[in-house]
Structure 1
């Protein structure tokens, strides 16, 4: 039987929650912040989903939409910081839900979170593959002439494989890579901003950046404010996500009740500021707005307009490298969630996915996440005009899955009121309004992001095409239906929520 007197403070708290220390606890508070900052990655989301905001709202959706939505996301982050401080476990989101709402709440939350993490890993890796292809095309005409969605998909699979190998090698290596990633994102973003400020011969006016509206969605202009513009907010909501990684890595973080809590809200705040500045630099660098629209709203069109080939390629290189760091971090976070959820028997094949290697890494879970990511992105092999519409569907799935999983424990904490026992980092009485605002914002964006992005995605429309369909509602609503059937037909009989992996006598000793 484990001796409670020989445990560190972190191990003692983990034991109080029912778990023995299986993973290597060698992440600093900075490393914990670094993984969430790397997954948010302003060098990824700001680049890969720029077109969504450009086509659905235009500069207004970016210059005003980004800071406004960022404030709401920061409120969500504050509520989650309080929760991770109280319950610093790798299960994170689903563990909180099970603790406060019972096994069923934990079951639904865990699956929504896992689906979101699988989707965000896939979407980031695919975005990285796209920018690697763009970078190579910038330096090689023959490579550019051979473009195909199939080639991008192969690059995507190769990047997933490399990220998986790095993750399997060592958990400590991941901490080091994420520390490097922070500085790459800071220095890289600053360098890109300087390039876009100094190199172009001319820049757009303040009036264009802060008042120009665009509607390239196909919907009527009368629907701009209540449908088109909100669809453009996917840029912000998708980019600033994945910060629950700080919770999933809490069992590997020193002084986790403080470090993981600060990791969540700081990663959001710093990314929001940096992301806004870099997005403004994109807008000011636009040389021909009609040309950007003709290019599908892709940010690379702005670079090709404003920069000579050498500087253009440099920007793409910096972004692609940042996106690869993001891919590696996403895979780390998703594998830890898979490990924790499997540890409690919730995933078919749990014994396999919860197994830890000699390096104290859930290697099988890493492979599981990489393979699933490759499979769910297969629809991106099809596209319209060379643009994989399925990519935006995967980002929607990521946003909806992750944020719905956040909403459940946030709501449960609000419902507990003063019965909730906070950790060392707490909101105090501010939880009363912050938790409600967080849940309402999540409910609203979840409704918008399952809507068709264009009328051509609506069955029965004269321009309907399956390539345009946003399959996010099929995956999310379909998954919820399947989970409900599974829960009532089987899971409720065997899933009891988080299981203790430490001697029961030790847990009882802490409870006494």
Structure 2
């Protein structure tokens, strides 16, 4: 078995002629990981040094409940209150774990950086800165409540842009910095959980005390915002409808399971480790987050005060009530750091998928964005592209709740639909030629896929629903419009005439290593 250092130091010769490379490949050994990747059509380019911890951490920290739960806490309180929040979070977390299992089986068989994009082709035959910015701005408003600059959209955009740039830096340096970014994010998660499970109950006991058990059955419908002439709320959305909308509390948190697979080409024993990283990252997020939510609800001081909070994020109001202004500022500052690191992990996935798509010649200037640095073999150009695009999107949504809601809802819809396609294809059109890996679900594969597919289909409908009533220009859910626009652009790009449309030139993933080059290669196991 190769040691990690030996794997990292193995030379990658990109300058040899095809004939010379054939000789090299037929006279040298390949690890099982390299050979498996080669059979999928790709030559080993990245350095393989990540293990189970880093792969698990990729999914665990991408989901990042210690920051994600606070971002959505205010939303959960007015879309059903504690009762719906706990029920929906628990249900969605469990169903999401089932989705991760269905995806893990595919990842074990097809462990490439392209992930879902590659799976969809083979089987078919063909998330932060805004929320993180709210934490940072909320902290500043608590400390400096009269600073007018904090109300300006450009200031929030600058904070977002700074966060994005800082998050991208570790992904452009070396695998050492990436490994420590992943570990650092886990460490900040542990610290924040210590705040929730130690500081919060101590603070609650010194203030108004804990909520009674009845808090878990407290329901609140806050999505009706219209009032009559006497100041009474006009009920347009029923409690049942409010409960359904409250599903989004968990839906916006429990996705990103594919983060592990985007590190597949850098992971040792990828087929097994990636699959385990996906489902263990999901189930650990689910179980730990349920316990955290229970603690948060019982330590809550003033429910209506939180619902009507004046800070950019209702979580800031929760903290001020519980630990005071300075304590709230300290926790929000640390949450921002955690969010910064988690944004870096998300960039890690985005960088790898961008590289994988460019490697297959799909993007404009694909040769540029598929290049890796000569020393550390990192796709830095792909990272720079992601930085520019993300900052541009932030410029469009900062200061506009409507735009931000539309973008986030559309992104969630698109992400979940991207999960649905390979899961369905694996059990239908791709069933005959899909070869399960050593790690597989066996007889559970079909029922798990059915449950996962039904859940994603249900989620698709919920994500399209209005989240506030009455529906007007400010409360309309623009996600269907955004999804429709993106779909129209995609179809236009596919069917564009004059031989410019993708249907004329896209032939699927491009092999970077041929079957001829694999003849005579000796495979040395690393599993």
Same fold (TM over 0.5): yes
Match of 1:411 among 419, 424, 431: 424
TM-score in terms of structure 2 length: 0.86
Counterpart contact for 2:103–2:423, Cα < 8 Å: yes
Q: Which residue of 2 aligns with 1:238?
A: 252
Match of 2:514 among 495, 503, 506: 503
- Does residue 367 (structure 1) correspond to residue 384 (structure 2)? The answer is yes
Whose radius of gyration is greater, 1 or 2?
A: 2
Deviation string for 1:68-120 (max 9, x for gaps)? 111110010000110110000001111111111122xxxxxxxxxxxxxxxx2
Counterpart contact for 1:215–1:224, Cα < 8 Å: no
- Does residue 473 (structure 1) correspond to residue 480 (structure 2)? The answer is yes
Matched ranges for 1:76-475 at <5 A: 76-103=99-126, 120=127, 124-141=128-145, 143=147, 146-200=150-204, 201=207, 202-218=209-225, 223-224=237-238, 226-295=240-309, 298-358=314-374, 359-383=376-400, 388-415=401-428, 416-417=430-431, 419-456=433-470, 458=471, 464-465=472-473, 467-475=474-482
User: Structure 1: 5+ residue runs without aligned partners?
Assistant: 104-119, 459-463
Tell me the CA shift for residue 421 of structure 1: 1.0
Alpha-carbon spacing, 1:227–1:95, altered in 2? closer, same or farther (3 Å): same
Tell me the CA shift for residue 470 of structure 1: 3.1
Q: After the TM superposition, which of the residue ranges 495-504 and 264-273 deviates more from structure 2?
A: 495-504
Tell me the CA shift for residue 333 of structure 1: 0.5
Alpha-carbon spacing, 1:222–1:71, altered in 2? closer, same or farther (3 Å): farther
Alpha-carbon distance between aligned partners in 2 of 1:146 and 1:30, rounded to the nearest angstrom: 39
Alpha-carbon distance between aligned partners in 1 of 2:280 and 2:386, rounded to the nearest angstrom: 27
Alpha-carbon spacing, 1:483–1:507, altered in 2? closer, same or farther (3 Å): farther
TM-score in terms of structure 1 length: 0.88
Tell me the CA shift for residue 444 of structure 1: 1.4
Deviation string for 1:180-235 (max 9, x for gaps)? 21122123213223221111221222212334333334487574455322222222
Q: Which residue of 2 aligns with 1:42?
A: 65
CA RMSD of superposed structures (Å): 2.2
Tell me the CA shift for residue 295 of structure 1: 1.7
Counterpart contact for 1:15–1:506, Cα < 8 Å: no
Counterpart contact for 1:97–1:412, Cα < 8 Å: yes
Alpha-carbon distance between aligned partners in 1 of 2:508 and 2:51, rounded to the nearest angstrom: 29
Counterpart contact for 1:81–1:262, Cα < 8 Å: yes
Provide runs of 4+ in structure 1 moved above 6 Å: none
Alignment length, in residue pairs? 480
Counterpart contact for 2:171–2:348, Cα < 8 Å: yes
Q: Which residue of 2 aligns with 1:488?
A: 495
Alpha-carbon spacing, 1:506–1:145, altered in 2? closer, same or farther (3 Å): closer
Alpha-carbon spacing, 1:145–1:334, altered in 2? closer, same or farther (3 Å): closer
Alpha-carbon spacing, 1:42–1:508, altered in 2? closer, same or farther (3 Å): same
